[in-house]
């Protein structure tokens, strides 16, 4: 059955004479009447192609045969509908020693060097995803033809690495060197047409024209784009030195070298060896093997597997085709727009027309930024249907309520919605703090009620907390989890408890920052310390981003429900700011003032007044209460899987990814040491720092 489905998925791919050949391993190989060999990579053991030792060893055997048989040309492409190859299989490096990694890389380089040295024309045809080692395989060919849906990139930097199979010297040799380096430094994938414009691929065609493009490449009609004068200057060290300075500056704006060494290492290698492919190759292998042994890379590889685990929580289909969202405010509008962008039919309702119109305008802007393709944006907006009458409720498979956080208001909404729900439809709330048992109390069928807690902005925050309660059915929880995965978000199942997981953990971090601010420490210094630790945004700026009114509400609610000793009281000046409608970024003024582009006006750290207040305990005061709340959630059974906890905090709060997640960080740092440190802070600053009893159980 699997083979039949795969054959069906390939029916639109041009596979030449290899179409009808059974695979003897990971490749299907056949020669046409003109002596052109078609090699189709179609891994029998995986849903997508990855490049690992078995694939490279098999490729080596074929290359050895071609060296003797001398075919007229060789075409390499994928038999998987999803794409060419998703990169290297990272599992092959886990647990390997530096020497073993170097040896494996040496062997891989030898295979691709021999492929590149074949006297016949070699042509890579790429479609879908062509990433990492997959792109490096394509770069070892003479010509690259991209199908228009191709997306090419080097994502290794996301794993604390740089390309390791020749990308560092082959990509700058065929493409504009600055553009090639930017690809490797950012990890961002590039669409086919853009890849053509920088010289990374030689042609972009529709699938139906692949055979003609291969013929053109075979007969020499497909010429490489000549390098510009500026690109040629990069072959000389003075040119690279100037460019490298700019690259370091830009990279430092996004990542700190101490935390993320890989991009800085790549710039060093290119500056030093970019004029010599041989020297760059040797340096690439040595550097890759060193980087993969760093804590940063090990933790980022861990984060990669956490993401895969969270994706794997999906069990079957949600059965959702039509989504209805009640409430066209900031969250409801974004949820609706994101789901429409992911292919779902969405109706969006609100008691007023004005918010719906505003939500559709914002949806267009968000989709243009995220989806980019104007046709896909148009299709997504066609799927997003304004519905002030709420006619979509009775047709929807899932209704998400995204109204303000008032129990009486939500109950009133449910009284209207529930009688209209069709059989099998789910009802969800996007509440960020209210107890689900209380919200479900008036429902006739609470078994189909679930929390789907999205994070703002939905287009960037990957996490969705799937919130259960005592009367939810397992099928509802399963379908809600599947729906989150189907809209390309990462589900984290949590129990209904104050703040669930993420808000419970994030609030102490933000609250302590306000205490530090109240003590006279400059807000820029507080944010800088948190960013140095690895947080994507400091807690002061984050409070402005969330909104001072929302932050105050959540903190007050959590303090009431968890006890006064868990959080510091909100400063009086914060309440006054909220009363004066100085609410943060959304009003242009908050803890910071904001420019027209929505950026905070900050004093540069080096320009802070001499002698301005500081606190050597600052990072522990910010981070340890967050860890304490995470431990409390685990101990109280809000969420028990430590890996999902780490994933949820990384993808829901941006908790320093290079540290591998808060629980992993705590174990690496040492639980006994953290507990003692918290006791010291409690003696100095009060009972909010008292370690939760769950630390003892975590240490066992």
Helix (H, G, I), strand (E, B) or coil at 339: helix
> Measured between alpha carbons, how far is residue 119 from residues 113, 116, 143, 345, 578 in Å?
12, 9, 13, 53, 73
Give the 3-state secondary structure of 571-604.
CHHHHHHHHCCCCEHHHCECCCEECCCCCECCCC
CA 83 to chain centre: 19
Paired residues of 204 in beta bridges: 146
Q: Are strands 190-191 and 151-153 parallel, antiparallel or unpaired?
A: antiparallel
Contact predicate 106/285, CB 8 Å: yes
Q: What gap in Å lies between CA 79 and CA 599, rounded to an integer? A: 47
Contact predicate 190/183, CB 8 Å: yes
Q: Which helix (H) or strand (E) holds 78?
A: strand 73-78
Q: What gap in Å lies between CA 541 and CA 34, rounded to an integer? A: 64
Q: What gap in Å lies between CA 316 and CA 485, rounded to an integer? A: 10
Strand order of the β-sheet with 490-495 is 384-386, 345-349, 322-326, 398-401, 426-429, 449-454, 463-468, 490-495
Locate 146 and state its tokens. Answer: 């991209």
Q: What residues have CB less than 8 Å from 570, skipping those under 6 apart?
A: 511, 514, 552, 555, 556
Contact predicate 456/546, CB 8 Å: yes
423 is catalytic: no
Contact predicate 163/156, CB 8 Å: yes
How many other C-beta atoms can be found within 10 angstroms of the C-beta atom of residue 519? 10
136 is catalytic: yes
Q: Comparing C-alpha atoms, which of 642, 315, 648 is closest to residue 474?
A: 315
Locate 572 and state its tokens. Answer: 């009086």
Q: What gap in Å lies between CA 642 and CA 644, rounded to an integer? A: 6
Catalytic residue among 58, 156, 401, 465: 156
Helix (H, G, I), strand (E, B) or coil at 29: strand
Helix (H, G, I), strand (E, B) or coil at 442: coil
Q: Are strands 426-429 and 398-401 parallel, antiparallel or unpaired?
A: parallel
Rg value, the chain, Cα? 28
Catalytic residue among 14, 57, 67, 136: 136
CA 109 to chain centre: 29
Q: What gap in Å lies between CA 221 and CA 216, rounded to an integer? A: 5
Half-sphere exposure of 214 (CA within 13 A, CB side): 25
DSSP structural state of residue 611: T
How many other C-beta atoms can be found within 10 angstroms of the C-beta atom of residue 260? 21
Contact predicate 79/13, CB 8 Å: yes
Known catalytic residues? 136, 156
């Amino acid at each position: 059955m699997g083979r039949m489905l795969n054959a069906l998925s390939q029916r639109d791919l041009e596979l030449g004479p290899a179409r009808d050949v059974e695979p003897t391993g990971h490749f299907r190989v056949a020669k046409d009447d003109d002596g052109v060999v078609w090699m189709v990579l179609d891994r029998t053991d995986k849903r997508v192609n990855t490049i690992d030792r078995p694939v490279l060893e098999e490729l080596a055997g074929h290359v050895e045969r071609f060296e003797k048989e001398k075919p007229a040309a060789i075409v390499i492409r994928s038999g998987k509908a999803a794409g060419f190859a998703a990169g290297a299989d990272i599992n092959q490096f886990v647990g390997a020693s530096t020497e073993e990694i170097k040896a494996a890389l040496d062997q891989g380089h030898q295979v691709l060097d021999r492929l590149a040295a074949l006297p016949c024309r070699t042509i890579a045809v790429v479609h879908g995803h062509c990433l990492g080692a997959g792109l490096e395989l394509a770069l070892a060919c003479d010509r690259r033809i991209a199908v228009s849906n191709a997306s090419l990139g080097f994502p290794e930097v996301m794993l604390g690495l740089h390309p390791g199979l020749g990308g560092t010297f082959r990509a700058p040799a065929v493409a504009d060197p600055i553009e090639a380096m930017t690809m490797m430094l950012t990890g961002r994938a590039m669409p086919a047409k853009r890849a053509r414009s920088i010289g990374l691929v030689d042609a972009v065609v529709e699938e139906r024209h692949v055979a003609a493009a291969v013929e053109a490449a075979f007969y020499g009609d497909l010429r490489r784009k000549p390098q510009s004068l500026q690109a040629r200057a990069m072959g000389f060290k003075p040119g690279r030195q100037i460019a490298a300075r700019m690259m370091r500056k830009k990279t430092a704006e996004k990542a700190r070298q101490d935390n993320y060494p890989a991009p800085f290492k790549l710039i060093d290698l290119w500056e030093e060896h970019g004029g010599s492919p041989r020297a760059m190759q040797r340096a690439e292998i040595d550097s890759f093997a060193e980087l993969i042994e760093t804590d940063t890379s090990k933790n980022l590889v861990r984060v990669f597997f956490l993401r895969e685990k969270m994706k794997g929580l999906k069990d079957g289909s949600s059965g959702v085709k039509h989504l209805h969202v009640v409430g066209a405010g900031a969250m409801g509008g974004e949820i609706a727009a994101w789901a429409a962008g992911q292919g779902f039919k969405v109706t969006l309702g609100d008691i007023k027309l004005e918010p719906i119109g505003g939500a559709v305008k914002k949806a267009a802007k968000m989709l243009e930024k995220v989806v980019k393709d104007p046709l896909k944006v148009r299709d997504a907006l066609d799927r997003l249907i304004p519905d002030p009458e709420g006619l979509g409720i009775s047709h929807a498979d899932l209704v998400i309520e995204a109204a303000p956080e008032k129990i009486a208001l939500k109950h009133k909404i449910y009284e209207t919605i529930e009688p209209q729900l069709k059989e099998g439809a789910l009802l969800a709330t996007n509440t960020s703090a209210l107890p689900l048992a209380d919200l479900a109390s008036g429902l006739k069928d609470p078994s189909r009620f679930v929390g789907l807690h999205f994070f703002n902005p939905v287009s960037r925050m990957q996490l969705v907390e799937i919130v259960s309660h005592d009367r939810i059915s397992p099928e509802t929880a399963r379908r809600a989890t599947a729906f989150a995965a189907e809209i390309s978000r990462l589900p984290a199942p949590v129990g209904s408890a104050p703040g669930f997981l993420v808000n419970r953990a994030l609030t102490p971090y933000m609250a302590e920052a306000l205490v530090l601010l109240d003590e006279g420490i400059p807000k820029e210094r507080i944010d800088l310390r948190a960013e140095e630790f690895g947080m994507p945004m400091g807690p002061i700026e984050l409070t402005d981003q969330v909104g001072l009114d929302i932050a105050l509400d959540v903190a007050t609610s959590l303090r009431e429900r968890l006890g006064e000793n868990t959080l510091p009281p909100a400063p009086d000046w914060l309440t006054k700011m909220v009363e004066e409608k100085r609410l943060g970024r959304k009003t242009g003024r908050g803890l910071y003032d904001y420019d027209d582009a929505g950026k905070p006006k900050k004093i540069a750290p080096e320009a802070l007044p001499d002698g301005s207040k500081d606190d050597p305990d600052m990072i522990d005061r910010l981070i340890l209460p967050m860890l304490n709340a995470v431990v409390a959630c685990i101990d109280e059974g809000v969420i028990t899987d430590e890996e999902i906890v780490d994933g949820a905090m990384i993808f829901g709060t941006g908790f320093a990814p290079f540290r591998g997640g808060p629980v992993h960080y705590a174990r690496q740092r040492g639980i006994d040491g953290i507990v003692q440190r918290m006791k010291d802070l409690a003696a100095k600053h009060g009972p909010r720092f008292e370690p939760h009893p769950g630390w003892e159980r975590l240490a066992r």
